[in-house]
Each structure stands twice: as structure tokens, then as C-alpha cells.
Chain A
């Protein structure tokens, strides 16, 4: 792991609403080839905005005010994502960087069969394939994520939440992208299904060698699957370290607070838990402002 597959330099994004919201502020990140990078943060911290910026999906009023995102392909050329437009952008998306969206299980079209939705990817990006070839590839895709091939004819409502999620992952993997962005891919699923999906992702990564940006608020989950973790707050990355260091020696107070928000399943009963002592617990969301983050950092 030497050359990064994706590097984000000084990226800032504003939402030009009634008052301008600085959603992402001068974020710099590199994603190594084949790495799982966790992005942790609470609602409103800018993690999804960052993901949408990487895939160039932001629409006005969002605006990239500074910085750039560079994708370095396996084949040895670099692409500056902000320079892409029109057909080039269309060809680039999904082929090199694919995304599993938040609430992915509800992002399938309910009136189309699974096969039609998967084949659509190939129709757009691999128009040279024949119909029979597309069929075969879609079948292989489903089997790769552990869904039976004959489910191709099913409609989304005939599948369970976990299966729909797998179909979405299959769709993202259709063109063997080098980067996969997953925005809260397991949030609406229960623990058992979540575990299956996570194992599936780790297995597929080993098989296909793509890099993953895994976005969630569930820090224990990230600690378990990712190589490095970035903690985000108020548009800033407040801490970035490998999983072990982040867990054992968190530097930023916010990271410590996030870690302490998850009681351990098997460890000691923490004193803060169910003490009924309300002086020590926080009931209000502290406002996510840049000043607040700076205050904490001191």
C-alpha cells in the first residue's frame, strides 16, 4: 500500500442557503489502495456531504469553494474529479468510484425487477455486451453477494431488507470499481443481518481489492472493520488515526466522548451507566460550530 487511490486536498464545501453553511472545511484525506477508511461523525457533521462531493453528486445550493479530489487509477493515470464534465463524468462515475447510498434498501425502484435495475448499469457503461452476456453477469453479481440467481426476476418488495441491501452492494460492484463509498450501509438493519453484510464486504474486498470509505456514526463497528478512522465534527476532521491507536489513545476530546457513548457489551459496567446521576451526563447536543470544536481542542 504505497500510492493512494484517492486523495482529497483542502476540500471545502458551502451550502449557499439564507446563511451560508460551511458543511465541509478544508478536509484533506488520502485513501490507500485496498484500505477501509472509516468516517465517523454524528448527524450534521458533513460526512455525507463529503461523500457526495467525492462522487460529484452535489447540487446547488452546495458549492465546492476550494480544494480538489484526485483519483489515481490502477492503470497509472490521475484524474482530477472537478475537471470532469458531461460524458466523461458519466463514464467515470460508477466505473471507478461507486457508492452505496444511505437507506440503500429503499433506493431500489419498486416497479422494476431486480434484473432490469442491475442490467441498466451494463447498458450504460458496457453497451457492447449482448443481452445474454448481461444476464449472465447480473446472475454472477447476485451470487457474489450471496443472493440466489433466480431472484433476478423478483421485485424489490419481495426481498427482505438485508437482501435489498445486498442487491445495492452488487449494483455498486457491477463494474469492479476501485473505490466504494458506503454511506451508513447497515443502519436500518438488525445486528445479525448487519454482521452478515459486514462479513460480505470484508470478503469482497479481499477478493476484488477495492478501497472503501465507510461512513457511519457507529464507532464500535468502525473500530472492528476499518484500517484507519477519521472522526468528523462540524465539517472538520478532528482526528485521524489507525483503529488501534484511536481506540486506545484517543487525542481529541470529541473522540473520547464518542467512544464513551457506547457502553461495552462484555466489559465492566461503567460507573456512568444507569447511575441516575444526571450531573455527569449530557442531555443536549452541543452545538456543532467551529468555535465549539476549537474550544474542545484546547
Chain B
């Protein structure tokens, strides 16, 4: 299993306004280390740079400066080491209605990454592996032949999780994995993620703006504000005893019925 590390990563976008260009610093000197088996939650408002960090990790953007390391070695964008990196880091997207192709069966979605990462597998081996993946996310094997529209949101998101697990990754980047799901099944999907994480000793980067689930489902929380990490620490400390004023603002803003009900009770 591998350790993922970001060291002083800066990402700047060039914005053009007529003839002038300005620079927008989307990620400002972010450093963290994600060891196997740990969950780090990345919280912050919209526009704070959460998704840019995910893009950097998925190699969809290249950092302006700083480095991303796997087991101490810098990440590569081409060659065999890049292929190994892309296998090791997988992503679960926010929208399960958009991230599955409506034309393809569930089996196809899961078989593709298996084939890509195991070109030597026979057809039977691929089918076995797909069935096993479905079992791991607690879906029946007969879902292989179904199309995404036949599945509910929660089931689709589990397919998306199975797809991310197909290349046997070491790190999972989950960008708001439950915010599009119905509330009564959110905890179930998060619990499933936690169980799979334990089984495989995965490192998970959980990107969210929901502080309550961030606290309950992660070991550490990083608070991002204008691209910079303003607070980083054990989950309970950050939420229950926020030091930075921005974290305090976030914690204040989150709905907390107890506060009002205490007033009503008297």
C-alpha cells in the first residue's frame, strides 16, 4: 500500500480580461500526507479549492509548483510509473446520475477497468472479478446485465464505488459521494465506504461541505479557505474546538437543531 503526499502544492489559473491577464491562486501551498487506512476530510465553501485538489490528484491539472509524491517518489505524468499511479489512485464522483453511461450495462462499466488493468485476464476471469466487485458493494450478481436507469441513486453510487475499486487502488478520492443521494441512505453508503476501506486498507480523501459527516467518517479534517489550509487536525478537535475563525464560521453555519431546541425547551 502506498502513502500519498502533497508538498507545498500551488495551482494558479490564468484569467484573461481583455488584454490583461490575472492569476487566480486556486490552491495555495497545500501539504498533507495520506497514509493507508486513514480518512482525511477536506472541507470548505464552494470555490475554496477542494475540487482543484481532486483534479491535481487525478492528474487532470498540473501543479504550478510543489510536488505530489507517492511513497516518497514524485508522481509521473507519462510512462510505466504514471500507469501505476493511475491504477493506485481512483475517484468516486458526486453525481451517480451523470457518471455512468446510460448506453452501457453495469457489467460493462466494471469490466472495462478490470480489462485495462489486467490485460492478461481471460473472459471468465474478468466476469468473476466483476461479480466479486458487485458482491463487495452488496449488489446482486444479476445487476451485471442491467442499465443505469434501472437502478436507484444509491445503487448507482455503489456501482461507481465498485468501478473505483476495480483497479485495486490504494487511494480513493471521494468528491461529495453522497450529496446527491436521498438522506435516508447516505449513512449506509458512507458506512459501506468505511467497511471497504477497512477491508483493503485504503487511504480515503473525503471531499465534502457537510461538517457532520466529515467529523464522523474521517480521522482528520483539513479546512480549506481561499485555497489554503487554515486548520488541520484530528476530526473531533477541529469541529468541537475550532481554532481558526473561518472554521468557527463554518461550524456556526452548519444546521444544529440542538441549539434552537434548547431555546424552545425553556
Give A contacts to B, CB under 8 Å: 42-43, 161, 189-195, 217-221, 223-225, 243-244, 247-248, 257-258, 260-267, 269-270, 272-278, 281-285
Chain A contact surface mostly: loop
**Given A217-B182, A285-B185: A266 touches B256 (CB 8 Å cut-off):** yes
Complex formed: what's the CA distance from A214 to B182 in Å? 18
**Given A264-B212, A276-B191: A285 touches B154 (CB 8 Å cut-off):** yes
Question: B198 near A276 (CB under 8 angstroms)?
Answer: yes
Give B contacts to A, CB under 8 Å: 45-46, 138, 152-155, 158, 182-192, 194-195, 198, 209-213, 215-217, 239-240, 249-261, 264-265
Question: A261 near B183 (CB under 8 angstroms)?
Answer: yes
Nearest-neighbour CB distance to chain B for A296, whole angstroms, equals: 12
The listed residue with most B CB atoms (<10 A of its CB), out of A191, A194, A269, is A191
Complex formed: what's the CA distance from A161 to B185 in Å? 27
Question: B182 near A281 (CB under 8 angstroms)?
Answer: no
Q: Which residues of chain B have C-beta atoms less than 8 A from A244's C-beta?
A: 261, 264-265
Nearest-neighbour CB distance to chain B for A179, whole angstroms, equals: 23
Complex formed: what's the CA distance from A224 to B262 in Å? 10
Question: A285 near B264 (CB under 8 angstroms)?
Answer: no
The listed residue with most B CB atoms (<10 A of its CB), out of A192, A194, A258, A272, is A192
Q: Which residues of chain A have C-beta atoms less than 8 A from B216's C-beta?
A: 263, 269-270, 273-274
Chain B contact surface mostly: helix
Question: B258 near A284 (CB under 8 angstroms)?
Answer: no
Q: Which residues of chain A have C-beta atoms less than 8 A from B185's C-beta?
A: 282-285
Question: B194 near A191 (CB under 8 angstroms)?
Answer: no
Q: Which residues of chain A have C-beta atoms less than 8 A from B217's C-beta?
A: 273-274
Complex formed: what's the CA distance from A247 to B258 in Å? 9
Q: Which residues of chain B have C-beta atoms less than 8 A from A261's C-beta?
A: 183-184, 186-187
Question: B183 near A262 (CB under 8 angstroms)?
Answer: yes
**Given A224-B260, A278-B195: A217 touches B183 (CB 8 Å cut-off):** yes
The listed residue with most A CB atoms (<10 A of its CB), out of B216, B254, B256, B257, is B257
Complex formed: what's the CA distance from A282 to B152 in Å? 13
Complex formed: what's the CA distance from A193 to B250 in Å? 10
**Given A192-B249, A263-B213, A278-B138: A43 touches B255 (CB 8 Å cut-off):** no
Complex formed: what's the CA distance from A273 to B188 in Å? 9
**Given A220-B255, A244-B265: A273 touches B250 (CB 8 Å cut-off):** no
Q: Which residues of chain A have C-beta atoms less than 8 A from B212's C-beta?
A: 262-265
Complex formed: what's the CA distance from A277 to B152 in Å? 22
Partner of B257, one of A189, A194, A247: A247
Q: Closest 9 A-B residue pairs measured CB to CB?
A: A223-B257, A195-B253, A276-B195, A220-B255, A281-B188, A273-B216, A221-B255, A265-B212, A42-B182
Nearest-neighbour CB distance to chain B for A246, whole angstroms, equals: 10
Question: A283 near B190 (CB under 8 angstroms)?
Answer: no
Complex formed: what's the CA distance from A42 to B254 in Å? 20
Complex formed: what's the CA distance from A189 to B210 in Å? 12
- Kindly report which residue of chain A lies nearest to residue B184, judged by CB atoms: A261
**Given A243-B261, A243-B264: A265 touches B182 (CB 8 Å cut-off):** no
**Given A192-B45, A276-B195: A223 touches B260 (CB 8 Å cut-off):** yes
Nearest-neighbour CB distance to chain A for B189, whole angstroms, equals: 7
- Kindly report which residue of chain A lies nearest to residue B189, judged by CB atoms: A283
Interchain Cβ contacts under 8 Å between A and B, 7 examples: A217-B182, A217-B183, A221-B255, A262-B212, A265-B211, A275-B194, A283-B154
Complex formed: what's the CA distance from A223 to B186 in Å? 19
Partner of A192, one of B194, B253, B258: B253
Complex formed: what's the CA distance from A264 to B212 in Å? 6
Complex formed: what's the CA distance from A225 to B158 in Å? 34
